[in-house]
Amino acid sequence: MDYLKTLRMQYGVSQEQLAEKVGISKRHLIRIENGTQALAEKMETAIKSALEELWVLKSDCRLDVMIDYVRIHFMTKDVRRVVEEALRFPFADMIREERGFYGFDATY
Query: For the chain, which domains are there?
Result: 2-58 (1.10.260.40)
Interval 60-87: pLDDT, tens: 666 667 788 877 777 887 888 888 888 8
Give the per-residue pLDDT at 61. Answer: 62
Q: What is the mean pLDDT of the chain?
A: 85
Give the per-residue pLDDT at 60. Answer: 65
CA 101 – CA 61 distance, rounded (Å): 38
Closest C-alpha to 101, from 80, 75, 72: 72
Closest C-alpha to 6, from 48, 36, 57: 48
77-87 burial, b for 16+ CB within 10 Å, e for fewer? eeeeebbeeee
Q: Could you say which residues of the chain have pLDDT below 50?
A: none
